[in-house]
Structure 1
């Protein structure tokens, strides 16, 4: 089929050359046969050559104009396709020298249109799914904050209210017991304030933005520890620039881990270390808190499951070591591929 189309195109070109040649030869024959005497005049020869040239150019102009129109039609269709008009098609005649080009273009345009439609449908479905996931995550976060408020601040405030309500009666019946109750109220209010600061810091977490992970931690970690009355030790040793994805997930894991320390550990000291090994990036968060038994922590614990999910996104894993009275150590390992640092792009 391709050879037949090429054959058709070549023969159309040869037809134009044949017509031009026939006209030229016929003109020469007529002049030689009937105007032999006039050939001795240079003016006649000049006019004859000019006539032959005009006829040849006329035939060439007719041929090139027709073919130029076909090329322009293809060019315009390609421009429309490049501008996003994926429905553009070229009408083809039964006998068409550009038939194979037009057919190939129409097939390509149809394929592109179908793929773009499919991509659009997939994009819409993904957008809807992401919206549903975002809404679900927001609702889950609201439920988690509601639980945290109920389990911490709300109970503390209720206890403060009950103690404050009983204070007038104690002052009336047993004034000597009032100072102890006042100290208890001060301690409970301080603890409630500490819990509230922790929840607010979770609602307003710092973002990396244009900072590296080390720069963000040097700014945020000491302030976070002071806010929650912790003695913090930071040790970040990353000779190479790591990818933004790893930095982002590490930072979110650190925030989640420290929130768990504040909420559950009753710790006084916390140590955060990030370093490289030959094939791994390692993040280690260790506290001197009360620790826990693994069987006492539900497998679906929100904080631990979130950290695991973030590590697994990067092909990593989370290891948790804890004993009652001996604190907790969280170690996150992310694969490191040699020869590829995945640094930030400028």
Structure 2
């Protein structure tokens, strides 16, 4: 990679080279004058002193205008660079102020038009997501939810029987204390661990197959209900801060709620976490969602290729014009950051 040089360096270089060549041409002109005129008013020594004087003056003037010009150009280009970074972060509603109607001014105008176009596309994506959600609800929602509930009931009955059998095995193991105390205790611990894991797996699967519906509830109420249910059925400690979100379409609320369900389900099934933190808030023009746990984590570079759950969450987020970020490292937990532009009236 080539070494990057400041634009100020190029400005100074060009002005100093101009000063050098101007001085050189001035000196050549004096020498031509001395060679042509028979009785010149100056001599060769004087031309050297004039050369030095003119060179110093041009160096000072060139440095001043070079620094001044480079400062102005660099400042305007710096504003453009900051604005491009702002657009890359997803803040398409921001605009850059155009000061001059020159080439750089034309670039800023084009960037503003590009940001406006992208913002319109995001709104179009949100409208399309709303229409898609309405069509899906009218055509498939009832049948899909009915089938999920049926499967959930069957699964619940089967797993409950297994858990009951584990309980019976635990009772039988307790009676083994008189025969082999150490073996009985070991068997009890194993049975208890298996039962706890089976219950956790069942609840996570039920969260997939029989999800809580928002119905007429707001996103805030739905998330609170979901967390309350998980608190009652698991040993995980939840630290939740859920604000009322008012600038989201019904479709975007549904997508965001499904993302939360998927993330919490993955935590129950895979993370072995004891603490979960969830923050849902609305600031300025965006809806922010943050979910983290203190579980065992995973290599997200590999998981993002193979995991259907991660792919689903990312697709849901992008369908409503959002930005999905996930960070995880083994034995250091998992962190999910989501930002969705709010719906304008």
TM-score (norm 1): 0.49
Bigger CA radius of gyration: 1
TM-score (norm 2): 0.49
Higher-RCO chain (CA-CA 8 Å, sequence separation at least 6): 2
